[in-house]
Amino acid sequence: MLESITENLTNAIGNITRGKLSEGNIREGMGEVRKALLEADVNYDVAKAFCDRVTEQAVGDKVLKSLKPGEQIVGIVYNELVNLMGPVDHSIAIRRGETSIIMMCGLQGAGKTTTCGKLAKMLMAEGAKPMLVAADLQRPAAIEQLKVIGEQVGVPVYWEEASSSTPVKVCQNAKKAAKQQDCNVIILDTAGRLHIDDSLMKELIQIDNKLMPNQVLLVCDAMTGQDAVNSAKAFNDALELDGVILTKLDGDTRGGAALSVKAVTGVPIKFAGMGEKLDLLEPFHPDRMAQRILG
Ligand code: GDP
């Protein structure tokens, strides 16, 4: 993953820092950096603002007249990459003495149902007692999939017949069931669609208003680049997200989604999906990602 952005970015930075540094060659070289970011599917405005910030710091006398200006420029790029993706608060705000509610949303295929299971597993390891809730009544297969995942993780799954219930009812009843079964967190697996549409958003807003979740998390597929970022913006406009979980970062992603989500939406990536297995969810660390990107 990320091979091409790493190669393009390090080449561009290498071209800047190799020769004698001047304001002119820094500005020229930053054009290459911007190209590398755009090729990695970083949002255009984000790439431009990033390069402007780096340039502004790099062309100052403090850097040009320093002993190792090349190293300083690499440091500036690294810091700006970290700032672009952070800061991140990984906490999931589990409340003592009451049922905490985590609402998971996302487009179909992003990895939402799988990530519900991963999150349940992670919370169990931290001592919580989660319950998964099948709030996607659009696709009967979604309920079955969640049941299988619940069994694999070893957590109860609350579900109702799709034909005789509504997503809000399922979530409300699940809250009661969680109390009875001594679970302190419910994770709502809400419906996804292939594209954002009004009916999807209305359904999610209704659940959000009635259940008042402690956290609303959006699951986004890193492989879809700017589409992931655009969908994050639309979901955040409708729901005020607390965080994004970026899936499939183990795949052949170009890195654009990871680099753009926070800047475009103001919402940090909290966790990253690193594979299909249910233990492959990691806290997202902007500093480690920046290191990885810079090779
Ligand atoms: P949903 O439609 O959003 O609920 O998506 P699913 O949970 O059904 O996941 C869609 C596909 O993506 C499945 O084949 C998952 O195994 C896969 N998937 C989910 N998360 C990851 C991840 O982090 N990495 C990889 N490689 N595959 C993932």
Q: SS in 3 state form for 50-105?
A: HHHHHHHHHCCHHHHCCCCHHHHHHHHHHHHHHHHHCCCCCCCCCCCCCCEEEEEE
What is the DSSP-derived secondary structure letter of residue 212?
-
> Does residue 248 have its Cβ closer than 6 Å to ligand 1?
yes
E strands in the chain:
100-106, 130-135, 157-158, 185-190, 215-221, 243-247, 269-273, 281-283
pLDDT value of residue 128: 94
Other C-beta atoms within 10 Å of 105: how many?
A: 27
Instruction: Of 87, 111, 112, 31, give the one whose Cα is nearest residue 263.
Output: 87
Which value, in Å, is the radius of gyration of the alpha carbons in the chain? 22
8 Cα–ligand 1 center, Å: 29
Q: For residue 87, is the peptide bond before it cis, meaning its omega torsion is within 30 degrees of 0?
A: yes
Asked if residue 95 has pLDDT above 80, the reply is no
Ligand 1 midpoint to CA 234 (Å) = 21
**Ligand 1 atom at minimal distance to the Cα of residue 274:** 23
pLDDT at 256 over 90: yes
pLDDT of residue 295: 87
Query: What is the 24 CA–ligand 1 centroid distance (Å)?
Result: 46
Q: Per-residue confidence at 35, pLDDT binned at 50, 70, 90?
A: very high
- 280 CA closest ligand 1 atom index: 23
Q: Which residues contact 245 (CB under 8 A, 6 or more apart)?
A: 115, 119, 217, 218, 219, 220, 269, 270, 271, 272, 273, 281
Instruction: Tell me if 251 CB under 6 Å of ligand 1.
Output: yes
Model pLDDT, residue 66: 83
Q: What is the pLDDT of residues 167-179, one digit of tens each?
A: 999 999 999 999 9
pLDDT in tens, 50-67: 999 999 999 987 888 888
Question: In sequence order, which residues have a C-beta less than 8 Å from that of residue 67 and are 6 or more positions away?
Answer: none
Confidence of residue 261 (pLDDT cuts 50, 70, 90): very high
- Distance (Å, whole) CA 106 – CA 96: 28
Per-residue pLDDT tens for 269-286?
A: 999 999 999 999 999 999
Q: Which atom of ligand 1 is nearest to the CA of 116?
A: 7
- Give the integer Cα–Cα distance in Å for 86 and 67: 30
Residue 15 pLDDT class (50, 70, 90 cuts) = confident
If you measure from the C-alpha of residue 117 to the centroid of ligand 1, how many angstroms do you get, rounded to a whole number? Answer: 11
